[in-house]
Amino acid sequence: MRTLKLTVAYDGTNYVGWQRQLNGPSIQQAVEEAFLPLAGGARPPVVAGAGRTDAGVHAMAQVASVNVEFALATDAIRRALNVRLPYDIRVLSVEDAPLGFHARFQAKGKTYRYRIVTTEVMSPFDRLYAWHAPERRDVDAMQRATEFFAGRHDFASFHSGEGLMNGTVRVLDSVRCAVVPGGLVIDVVGDGFLRHMVRTIVGTLMDVGAGQRAPGSIPDIIARRDRRAAGPTVPACGLTLVSVRY
């Protein structure tokens, strides 16, 4: 038995997310099925991802772990997987990891990036990887608002879904809003994320930029622990998992 650590990049447009689901194809399913001929059994091995990215969300460097019993070299495994995977999923690297390494449970933090195109006309080449929001925003106000997210908080107001076994408290290292040519980039770094949490943080910041909320309203939104208190959940296409920290 050996444990492998995979780094995977994917365009999430045509998938229901990382995790296997009954309502459509997932990244996890595609990677596991690519392993099947290598494993030589009736069932593919279970590939665990560091983050359960939602439908339409992309990844530059998702990390995954899998236990296997074959002795192929890691470079040969990478090549074999990419031959069998669709072109919108690529295994960037395969490494031997300590036996028992788990990509999700041992992750210390993740960085997500949300891209917003603010030009009047959006390039068709950006349409799958950014949200088009050309309305004028007060970026200074948005940047002041980002300061209130850092730290350990109950982010129930930014969670779309039912209650969780491990609660809704998370630690954010930082939220940064930067102006880039043609738009904005919002980076969110933290120890873990709730369903739609990053996209709701971005939606709330965009409300601040539109003058619908004050920058100083963020602590009250957090304290209310009510999804109705926060802003909208922005489209999935603009969100990318950039990196995972161990």
Predicted pLDDT at 162? 63
Angle among Cα 195, 48, 7 to the nearest 5 degrees reads: 95
Domain closes at, from 97, 125, 154? 97
Residue 120's domain comprises 109-245
d(C-alpha 137, C-alpha 204), whole Å: 12
Q: Which residues of the chain have pLDDT under 50?
A: none
Question: What's the pLDDT score for residue 111?
Answer: 98
- The total domain count for the chain is 2
Can you give the pLDDT at residue 161?
Answer: 76
Cα–Cα distance, 114 to 7 (Å, whole number): 20
Does the pTM surpass 0.75? The reply is: yes
pLDDT of residue 165: 61
71: nearest Cα among 47, 46, 39: 39
> Which tokens in the block code for residue 56?
């339409």
What helix, strand, coil percent values describe the chain, rounded to 5? 25, 30, 40
Q: Mark which of 97, 128, 160 sits at the end of a domain.
A: 97
Give the HSE-up count for residue 154: Cα atoms under 13 Å, Cβ half-sphere: 12
Using CB atoms within 10 Å of the CB of residue 156, give its burial: 0 to 12 exposed, 13 to 18 middle, 19+ buried: buried
Q: Are residues 54 and 134 both part of a single domain? A: no
Domain contains 37: yes
Cα separation of the two ends of the chain: 22
- Is residue 58 a part of any domain in this protein? yes
Residue 187 is a catalytic residue: no
Catalytic residue among 54, 126, 138, 154: 54
Per-residue pLDDT, 39: 82
CATH number at residue 136: 3.30.70.660
Could you give the CA distance from residue 96 to residue 73 in angstroms, rounded to a whole number?
Answer: 9
Domain's final residue, options 97, 132, 149: 97
- Return the SS3 of 60: strand
The pLDDT value given to residue 223: 98
In a shared domain, residues 114 and 68: no
Half-sphere exposure of 223 (CA within 13 A, CB side): 6
